[in-house]
Structure 1
């Protein structure tokens, strides 16, 4: 069988296996071995060994378990509870105020976690019961919690950006700086939509009754400062140390873990159960990530070696020779894959194939292309049928909030994410300005 046919068969079998629900890490590694042996013979095992050893010696990837540990510490430290309580009091009197507070807290929480599971679950437990008890529409409640939670995978420190940087050898610190404005742009779009919607339809997000507005302006300012300082301290410790050149992303991840632990100690949450649950969750998530990483790395090496990358390039240029049309096709492919495949699998499969085409052949800026890929993959957490954020929320949702409410609630926020992606594509300075300003 010719290498081109092997590459096509390899890709088709992968899609079939994913749609049948087989575990992604084992599927990628297994197909890599099977087609590697067919294409290369026993030499495929030397490729597997070499690729795995390369991952083991990649210093950047050490940041992954450290950022996950930081997220676990922070999730159990009580910081989100304090921040949401103060935002509830400050924004509650406004129409849709609790929804706005949820987005604000999710944005701040995203800048201190790096994974979405912690954000969606925490806000689902904190905000969903409160919003529903105050008469908020179920769809709006589900939408702001899931969309706000997905910011955790984009706003630095982000596990996605660490994986991206380690995958293609790009500066993780530069990726962090580049992702900051796009992440805040999406947050602002969510806030603007929610404010306008609740202004037009007050029954979707009624304000707190006048008789319950007992706090003075001074008290609100004090509560906001007190609840904001801990996460801002953590954000400064992680991102500030990277931007200032004091620490590498890996060292900053260790510093962030220590900072999150100190916050848990200050809030008197650091007991044996706290350490046990945080450590176990970190171990489980890290093993899952690295298993997919090893399998995808080997799969991609065999696929590219068989000429799969060249085949994809020929297919894309068969569609059009206009670079913007080709970019649109890439984005659509990743968007559609995001409905069925985990973001990590898409990242590890598509980036090694698409990046040489986008950067080398089409001449796009590598940093800009990296961010539009990551913004696109953020949508995979919201798009049915397998959006992880939807099921995270369903697992902790209060009685009465069904999966149908969640599915309907995410539709306008997916549209907002598409608008955000179009804005970032149209105005590359949204990505490139901050890293160029700070690092140059």
Structure 2
């Protein structure tokens, strides 16, 4: 019987793990509990690769080795298991997982992806490699709305792969664009991976979302640039669309207004309002088209005005209700009485105070205020110096920041270009985007914006997202009982898997720490005298290798509790480390021979598309991911600028 390459790889990897553990145990003079912890870790990896359920493997191994560590005391073992499970499940952050997953399944079943892909590839028809570029943009938008890698790759494999193959695209280019774009949901918020990492590492999920925003955009942008470059310099791999593929059918009433779809829409619609030249076109239709035309200008004006008021609003002065303390000047006994201040009992004036024998020191009368000094107030306490000026300064509007001018200058240029080249064909494409892209964009901005700007916690924003997905499905008339039932079932299945993984991870981590495995690993790493760069390179290589046989959930819940305690010794920010891990696990999803996205695509691809072709298409995108990891490490501000701006 011939064994497949994937099985050879898996068996070889398990053999390497077992040989390494055996060599370690034979090389030490005495086997300690720490060595038992490393044995437990290796047995977990081997058992998972053999196909045992990850969560229950973690729990089982954790309980067995805890029982050994406690000298076969079953009561203490069960106590540790219950405490670890309760501590994990009491985390409020985990509530966001089922809500985000439910939002993703509802959006997936609202059938938006087909309209989105169609409108995007028509709007980018003149861009080299437009079908592959539209696939990547669709995957990025849809991954942001769902965050489910398997669902995005499967749907785009059914929709975009046949279209690209019919257009003459190379199979590796088409397969690579779909698999790489589908994996963007691992990194781009609202990513479930970031929630799991935040709960495991004790890092704020809000800051992780803010930090992952620009690295996600950078990675998607590098993908698009690669596809455009390949289509430009090797057009036989991604040929341009034919004229028939770019043609946009106009509605009947709109077609009466123009001889062809290339005529300028704004000018022609304004002319249609005059005279009787368009008597066969109802005035209402013309006005509706003009209403669609002015939407971008109205939206730009509204956003610009609202943001301008927000960035220039004076800072608020918070009144904490603290009354100022009033001190009486000498000789104002009446004010003291009015304020209720009394002399304590038994306190008398010093001798000679009444007969005037107490005198001013010599020369006191000659003491005068220094030249230019302001006369002191006669009584009471005045405002501190500069208080009135500070209050006036606070009330003044803040200057407009430079980033606001730059952002809205770019937006204004985009709006101007939109109107300058707005033909009737482009107007129809814009209407298609209004019905597919912008509803998803509003949902994404409402969820991510409320999290990043602090209006809501991730859990509250996830609830808003779930409601938004429900409303989107209803608006597109896809909200049926079967759709809701299937979405709820899949959400419960996915959430149960993640939550059981957390419970198993908590039990496993407690057993590993109890055995001293963490201390042994820390001592071994520190004994190597690694620099910060060497530690980062070593950790990312290990995570990359682990990403071949293991899922990202297993890597996060098993190995992150081992890496996180080491970060303080090397001065590494856990937030920055999490962003590197998220980028790295993208690479692991595309690295053969165990690349899950490849198998997702193979399951829905035509029979003539082979796994080797899919793997060949994934390799260039994997190289781009490695470049993105290097860029993020060399320029950490890509990931840390936004969290520092918003929260520090």
TM-score (norm 2): 0.66
**Match runs of 1:17-416 below 5 Å:** 17-40=47-70, 41-42=73-74, 43-215=76-248, 216-358=425-567, 360-416=568-624
After TM superposition, the runs of 4+ consecutive aligned structure 1 residues lying more than 4 A away are none
Q: Is the 8 A contact 1:128 1:142 kept in 2?
A: yes
Deviation at 1:364, TM superposition (A): 1.2
Question: For 1:11, which of 20, 36, 41 is the aligned residue?
Answer: 41
**Match runs of 1:413-432 below 5 Å:** 413-432=621-640
Q: Is the 8 A contact 1:162 1:172 kept in 2?
A: yes
Which is further off, 363-372 or 248-257?
363-372
Separation of aligned partners in 2, 1:138 and 1:408: 9
Separation of aligned partners in 1, 2:226 and 2:522: 38
- Count of residue correspondences: 439
Q: Is the 8 A contact 2:69 2:514 kept in 1?
A: no
Separation of aligned partners in 2, 1:291 and 1:380: 23
Separation of aligned partners in 2, 1:15 and 1:318: 25
Deviation at 1:100, TM superposition (A): 0.3
Deviation at 1:224, TM superposition (A): 2.8
Q: Is the 8 A contact 1:7 1:307 kept in 2?
A: yes
Deviation at 1:223, TM superposition (A): 2.7
Larger radius of gyration: 2
Deviation at 1:158, TM superposition (A): 0.6
The Cα offsets for residues 73-120 of structure 1, whole Å up to 9 and x where unpaired, read as: 010012211110101212234331100000011111122112212211
Q: Is the 8 A contact 1:61 1:162 kept in 2?
A: yes
Q: Is the 8 A contact 1:69 1:282 kept in 2?
A: yes
Separation of aligned partners in 2, 1:9 and 1:211: 63
Can you give the 5+ residue segments of structure 1 that lack an aligned partner in the other structure? none
User: SS at 2:603's partner residue?
Assistant: helix
Can you give the 5+ residue segments of structure 2 that lack an aligned partner in the other structure? 1-30, 249-424
Q: 1:5 to 1:366 in 2, by over 3 A?
A: closer
Q: 1:320 to 1:412 in 2, by over 3 A?
A: farther
Considering only aligned residues, what root-mean-square deviation do their CA atoms show, in Å? 1.5
Q: Is the 8 A contact 1:161 1:172 kept in 2?
A: yes
User: SS at 2:45's partner residue?
Assistant: helix
Q: Is the 8 A contact 1:4 1:308 kept in 2?
A: yes
Deviation at 1:29, TM superposition (A): 1.2
TM-score (norm 1): 0.96
Deviation at 1:149, TM superposition (A): 0.5
